[in-house]
Amino acid sequence: MFSPGHLIFIAISFIMIISGTAICCYRRPPLDRLLKVILVVAFLLEAFKMLDVLEIVPVVEPFVENGRFVYKETGKYTAFLKAEHVPFELCSMQILFLFFAIFLKDEKWKKRFYSIIYGTAIIGGTIAILLSSIAPEYASAGAFLASPRAWEFFIYHSLIIISALYIGISKESDIHFKDCIWMIIAIVLLDYASFYMNAICSVPV
């Protein structure tokens, strides 16, 4: 963490966030249109991440051999996704929040999802960029910058922060301080669910 490569990506991310938000403020696109574009790009980036971390592993079957329980390969292979890549984190859930914020017709619930995105994406996205979980995977700045996974990670989190900032700026969202109560309740409940689901999918070593 905070390796030269990580620091470069932090700088790139904040340049993207500042320039992206400035362009939005200047051009003032309709909120729903901007969120639709971000939703599509975020979905494609998340799909790319899944394909990138997907592993092809041999299929095994359990046998008892000489009184011991062993696994033997069957000669077949299957796609496998490690538990830590299953999207039960708030950042990955932004895709769902964006979907509901765009397509819900009920203005009350639409506004609630705006407030959830506003709070969770700014806080979670910034933490993800600064304390990147993938940073320790790269031995050098060159390897970091050459990694498609790293670009996907930082572009994704920059985009969700831009969406949150524009929600806060846009008059269409009409969120106020009182909406923070709903946002805080949602964050607590979603964090609890996230911790629980990730705990189920984790294996202590």
Task: Give per-residue pLDDT as tens, 7-59.
Answer: 999 999 999 999 999 999 999 999 999 999 999 999 999 888 888 777 888 88
pLDDT in tens, 98-137: 999 999 988 888 888 898 898 888 888 999 899 887 888 8
Determine contact, residues 136/1, Cβ cutoff 8 Å. Answer: yes
Is the pTM here over 0.85, yes or no? no
3-class secondary-structure state, position 177? coil
Percent of the chain with pLDDT strictly greater than 90: 32
pLDDT at residue 84 above 80?
no
* Other CB atoms within 10 Å distance of the CB of residue 166: 23
Closest of 131, 129, 127 to residue 1, by C-alpha: 131
**Alpha-carbon separation of residue 62 from 21, 65, 68, 70 (angstroms):** 55, 10, 10, 6
Determine contact, residues 93/124, Cβ cutoff 8 Å. Answer: no
Q: How would residue 205 be classed by pLDDT, with cut points 50, 70 and 90?
A: low
- CA dist., res. 9 & res. 154, Å (int): 7
Which residue in this structure is represented by tokens 């949602």?
A: 186
